[in-house]
Copies of this chain bind each other. A is one copy, B any other.
Amino acid sequence: MPHDVPWFLGTLVIIFAAAKLLGALAQRLGQPAVLGELLAGVFLGTSVLGVVDSQEHVLHLLSEVGVILLLFEIGLETDLQALLKLGGPAAAVACAGVVLPFALGYGVCELLGLGQRAAIVAGAALTATSVGITARVLSDLGRLQDPESQVILGAAVLDDILGLIILALVEAMEAGEPVTVLGILKVAALAFGFIIAALVVGRFAIPPIFRRLGKKPGTITMAAVMLAFGLAWLANAAGSALIIGAFAGGLLLAFTDVVHEAKRGVAHLGYFFVPLFFVVVGAAVDVRVLNPFNPANHSTLVVGGLLIVAAVVGKFLAGYAPFWFKGKKSVIGVGMIPRGEVGLIFAQKGLSTKVLDTGQYCALTLMVMVTTFLAPPLLRWLLPPHPQSRQQREGIDELVSEA
């Protein structure tokens, strides 16, 4: 019985300890804590120490709770009005950030002679930004309120919806089904419709509900959790993404008069669940693919290397798409670089339908891995921590301390 209660408790203690230690070490070196947590995952993962199996069911579920709570927290910190005001630049970044990486990735694969279907899957895997990593870095640096950060958040949310539409297209293509304009429009309408409906209905329904709940911390915290999980569930059921529902929930709760109590309660749950997400993401990395002395890895490293260039250049250039936006466009581009779960989903689908071989699958994993690890130090370099706040991740930590 490797999966009994003592195993579970022991594994959690090791994960928390490693995440906290390497997170603190990263901060000492002037890097965001999340970089240390990702590295903790790599060390604990199956390819090094073998303590954390990123495929393990319970850890996977809890890590998803972590990213849902994180996006909910980010939503709580976000001003919907400001986000909508920056909707134009965000939409430009999102669209360019899908078209450019797809075109570059497709081109690289065609150039290397991988075949059209593999090129489409690889191009698609380059499109979706992992908003979790960037949002956490911006939060670590106390920069969530900057206009650049708002553009990144907005673009990443749109980008996730576009990624889902592309996923539906690729799945239809793989299944040999005809891809119709009507089908695309239906998927898009559902995904965008959900977030608009949730925000419009919730803007009026949520504040009175929370006003009636009183101020007991247990009630507020659990009502906030139910809102986050419930909207995540609903978003998924409507064909949108879980984290988009959670983000919408945070945006809505920001309109209530218990936002302060809710932030404190969710932050405490976040201390538990959020590091689990980053450790599990790190644990999915197979460092053996990186060994250049193994000839079997050579073609993976070449394909992976070119895909990384396509991924970085594509998203970086997308940051300059809103040419009228007066902000640091380089920050936006870099903030869009990390790929995460969605990229891996494309890779796994490609592998399971045999469109990709194992080497190509590893090349895509390599791309996800490198872009994820590249963004935190690059963002930190372009964007010094907020001057008023020397401690890190204080958007949330300070709110909890001052209470």
| A contact set with B: CB distance below 8 Å | 3, 5-6, 8-10, 12-13, 16-17, 20, 57-58, 60-61, 64-65, 68, 215-219, 221-222, 225-226, 229-230, 232-233, 236-237, 242, 264-265, 267-269, 271-272, 391, 393, 397, 400-401, 403
* This chain's copy number in the assembly: 2
Hey, which chain B residues are within 8 Å of A391, CB to CB? Answer: 216
Hey, which chain B residues are within 8 Å of A403, CB to CB? Answer: 403
Hey, which chain B residues are within 8 Å of A268, CB to CB? Answer: 217, 221, 264-265, 268-269
Hey, which chain B residues are within 8 Å of A10, CB to CB? Answer: 229, 233
Hey, which chain B residues are within 8 Å of A60, CB to CB? Answer: 5
Hey, which chain B residues are within 8 Å of A57, CB to CB? Answer: 3, 57-58
Q: How far apart are the CA atoms of A222 and B12 in the complex, in Å?
A: 11
Q: Are A237 and B6 in contact (CB under 8 A)?
A: yes
Hey, which chain B residues are within 8 Å of A269, CB to CB? Answer: 268-269, 272
CB distance from A387 to the nearest CB of B (A): 20
CB distance from A150 to the nearest CB of B (A): 25
- The answer to whether A5 and B271 touch (CB under 8 A), given A16-B226, A219-B20, A222-B20, is no
Residue of B nearest to A265 (CB): B268
Q: Are A217 and B400 in contact (CB under 8 A)?
A: yes
Q: How far apart are the CA atoms of A391 and B216 in the complex, in Å?
A: 10
- The answer to whether A401 and B216 touch (CB under 8 A), given A10-B233, A58-B57, is yes
Q: How far apart are the CA atoms of A58 and B403 in the complex, in Å?
A: 34
Q: Are A68 and B397 in contact (CB under 8 A)?
A: no
Q: How far apart are the CA atoms of A65 and B16 in the complex, in Å?
A: 15
Q: How far apart are the CA atoms of A216 and B27 in the complex, in Å?
A: 14
Q: How far apart are the CA atoms of A391 and B217 in the complex, in Å?
A: 13
Q: How far apart are the CA atoms of A226 and B9 in the complex, in Å?
A: 9
CB distance from A224 to the nearest CB of B (A): 10
Residue of B nearest to A4 (CB): B61
Q: Are A13 and B401 in contact (CB under 8 A)?
A: no
Please, could you name 14 A-B residue pairs with CB atoms under 8 Å apart, sorted by A?
A3-B57, A5-B236, A6-B237, A6-B242, A9-B230, A10-B233, A13-B229, A16-B226, A20-B219, A216-B391, A217-B401, A221-B271, A225-B272, A268-B268
Q: Are A216 and B397 in contact (CB under 8 A)?
A: yes
Q: Are A13 and B265 in contact (CB under 8 A)?
A: no
Q: Are A230 and B13 in contact (CB under 8 A)?
A: yes
Hey, which chain B residues are within 8 Å of A226, CB to CB? Answer: 13, 16-17
Residue of B nearest to A396 (CB): B218
Hey, which chain B residues are within 8 Å of A222, CB to CB? Answer: 16, 20, 271-272
Q: A5-B61, A20-B222, A221-B272 are in contact. List 17 more A-B contacts (CB 8 A).
A: A3-B57, A5-B236, A8-B65, A9-B242, A10-B229, A12-B229, A13-B233, A16-B222, A216-B397, A216-B401, A217-B400, A217-B401, A218-B397, A218-B400, A225-B272, A265-B271, A269-B269
Q: Are A5 and B225 in contact (CB under 8 A)?
A: no
Hey, which chain B residues are within 8 Å of A233, CB to CB? Answer: 6, 9-10, 13
Hey, which chain B residues are within 8 Å of A8, CB to CB? Answer: 61, 64-65
Hey, which chain B residues are within 8 Å of A230, CB to CB? Answer: 9, 13
For A61, give its contact among B58, B225, B401 (CB under 8 Å).
B58
Q: Are B58 and A9 in contact (CB under 8 A)?
A: no
Hey, which chain B residues are within 8 Å of A64, CB to CB? Answer: 5, 8
